[in-house]
Amino acid sequence: METHHRVAVLCALPQEVEPIIEGLHGIERSSRYGTDLATGQLGEVSVVVCVGGMGKVAAGAAAQMLICEYHPDALIFSGIAGSLNPLLEIGDIVVGRSLVYLETNNDIIAECDPFLYTYASDARLSALACQVLDEQGYRRVPSLAEMDGTAAAVAATDNDPNRRYTLGTIATSDQFNTDPDVLEHTRRVWHGDCEEMEGAAAAHVCAKNRVPFLAVRAMSNRCGEAYEDLNRHQSDMTLAAQNAGAAVRAVLSALHVAQIHHA
């Protein structure tokens, strides 16, 4: 059976792609359509990695470009995000079981192909991501959708030696939200475990093209902190980018063709 296939990895920022690119062999770099690209090989997997830029439009455009130009068998979105789940600290990870747009009338969007209100990571790719995180020593914790009111009030303790991850919901916003009421609405209504600005758009494009999708986000901050303050904590952003990148590299290393399929 043919075991060589191409996987596209999309990130918003250069610091998010470098931990992935450093695991590739035979790297070739290029720029096109306003994105920076690198191709290479990780084991049996042929990989193209893209810096698509920040925001939903940039992510959607880059995802469609990758699909049209490279015909990937799967697309992985990787990078950093702000934590909304009280159990997730800096460097912990959300594997996106589902992704949802905020500030959007999802009922109207769902009137068009692919006719979805929210977007899902491929079940087999999600299971593989959880498996490699277990192997890397992460401890799985409940998503907000799995918590009751009591559990939701319990935060991770400083003396917990384990990194954590959850299989949960990634909320995609047009804004870097800091308003406590807005953030609480995202937790309560959408069960958002983290918030970022690109994932649902990439997932939407993949669903429209019937390309299996996976989202992996590592926490760089707790939601509520101002963007200007976040930029003062570059070490947290670097840690998060490294953790997300290491998880994606492990997924690519473990991947084989039976776990990638088109609908």
- pTM equals 0.91
> What pLDDT, on the 0 to 100 scale, is given for residue 86?
95
Q: Which stretches of 110-198 are DSSP H helices?
A: 123-135, 149-152, 180-190
- Geometric angle at alpha carbon 210, from 207 and 214, rounded to 5°: 60
- Geometric angle at alpha carbon 135, from 18 and 91, rounded to 5°: 45
Residue type, 207: A
d(CA 250, CA 95): 14
d(CA 160, CA 114): 42
> What pLDDT, on the 0 to 100 scale, is given for residue 64?
98
d(CA 207, CA 64): 11
Instruction: Return the percent helix, strand and coil in the chain, to nearest 5.
Output: 35, 30, 35
Residue ranges and CATH numbers for the domains of the chain are: 79-259 (3.40.50.1580)
96: tokens are 């996106």
| Pairing of β 35-42 and β 25-32 | antiparallel
Residue ranges in the chain whose pLDDT is less than 70: 1-5, 148-161, 256-263
> What pLDDT, on the 0 to 100 scale, is given for residue 72?
95
Contact 191, 171 (CB under 8 A): no
260: tokens are 């990638």
| Pairing of β 45-51 and β 192-196 | unpaired
Give per-residue pLDDT as tens, 33-65: 999 999 999 988 899 999 999 999 999 999 999
> What pLDDT, on the 0 to 100 scale, is given for residue 1?
32
